[in-house]
């Protein structure tokens, strides 16, 4: 089973790339973030023509998440229970073998002194509470998405410049560790990885060409799935594409079926 996550920064713009990517890579499930589409505008038919089912929740202009899958999922959830939020940042569904997949677009936080930063930490706390319950019901759980957190200095090209800044601050890194503390594993770190592997590069400053990036997109697995995880890679090549998203896909493979 192949699971992937990709912040596409507008599915309207990136749809041809997403179609090409799923046809080439054949993931069982692809988690998308920043679709920026209202539900009535979601390209269900185009995606179905490529052989994929869609589950999605979106809003105008901002946010929006989706699950593309070869088999339709069920028990779909599109909000964090008990957390009042107009922003569409989570979708979860259950697939074959009772694998529970949650796709998240964690708030950016803007800067550590901003109101948006408090919202980010509150959102992460609500996610943690929800996952604690989900893991009781679904021992085979995968949490994929744009976390907007670089967990360690090795996930940042210039850690000194980023120290204490949003995406790298201690409160955010602590929140990430609390997710791991629930019984989740960062699948990327289960394997030897190329030095300086990142998932996001600023559009400005020729950041991609200079590999000035951060690893902020992650695939976390419950222990039961981590035990059967055979690979986790970042598909950096697509970032070289004309009109790319600023994020690259992360792909994790599981030895089920």
From the centroid of its chain, how far is CA 117? 19
Per CB under 7 A, contacts with DNA among 171-200 are 200
Residue 146 annotated to the active site: yes
Q: For the CB of residue 70, give the shortest distance to DNA in the complex, in Å.
A: 26
Nearer to DNA, 168 or 229 (CB): 168
Asked if 118 interacts with DNA (CB under 7 A), we say no
Give the ranges where the chain is alpha helix by DSSP (H).
Answer: 11-25, 44-49, 115-137, 159-162, 170-181, 223-226
Q: In which residue are the tokens 């039961």 written?
A: 224
Question: Among 56, 105, 138, 198, which one carries the catalytic annotation?
Answer: 105
Q: In which residue are the tokens 């796709």 written?
A: 103
Asked if 31 interacts with DNA (CB under 7 A), we say no
Q: Is the dihedral of CA 39, 110, 4, 208 positive or negative?
A: positive
Q: Which residues pair with 186 in a beta bridge?
A: 220
Asked if 5 interacts with DNA (CB under 7 A), we say no
Residue 52 annotated to the active site: no
Distinct helix (H) and strand (E) counts, the chain: 6, 14
Question: Among 52, 95, 138, 146, which one carries the catalytic annotation?
Answer: 146
Query: Which are the catalytic amino acids?
Result: 105, 146
Q: Give the footprint of DNA on this chain (CB under 7 A).
A: 7, 9-10, 12-13, 34, 36, 60-62, 107-108, 110, 116, 146, 148, 166-167, 200, 202-205, 214, 216, 243, 246-247
């Amino acid at each position: 089973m192949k699971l992937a996550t990709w912040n596409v920064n507008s599915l309207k713009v990136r749809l041809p790339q997403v179609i090409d990517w799923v046809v080439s890579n054949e993931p069982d499930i692809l988690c998308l973030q920043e679709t920026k589409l209202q539900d009535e505008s979601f390209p269900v038919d185009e995606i179905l023509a490529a052989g994929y089912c869609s589950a999605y929740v979106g809003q105008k202009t901002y946010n929006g998440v989706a699950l593309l899958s070869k088999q339709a999922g069920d028990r779909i959830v599109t909000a964090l229970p008990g957390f009042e939020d107009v922003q569409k940042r989570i979708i979860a569904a259950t697939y074959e073998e009772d694998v529970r997949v949650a796709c998240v677009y964690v708030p950016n936080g803007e800067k550590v002194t901003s109101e948006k930063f408090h919202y980010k930490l509150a959102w992460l706390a609500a996610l943690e509470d929800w996952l604690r319950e989900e893991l009781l019901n679904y021992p085979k759980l995968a949490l994929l998405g744009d976390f907007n957190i670089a967990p360690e200095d090795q996930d940042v090209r210039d850690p000194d410049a980023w120290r204490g800044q949003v995406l790298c601050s201690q409160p955010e890194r602590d929140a990430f560790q609390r997710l791991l503390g629930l019984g989740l594993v960062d699948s990327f770190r289960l394997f030897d990885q190329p030095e300086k592997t990142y998932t996001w590069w600023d559009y400005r400053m020729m950041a991609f060409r200079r590999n000035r990036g951060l690893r902020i997109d992650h695939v976390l697995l419950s222990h039961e799935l981590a035990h059967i995880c055979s690979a986790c890679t970042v598909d950096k090549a697509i970032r070289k594409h004309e009109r790319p998203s600023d994020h690259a896909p992360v792909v994790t493979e599981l030895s089920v079926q």
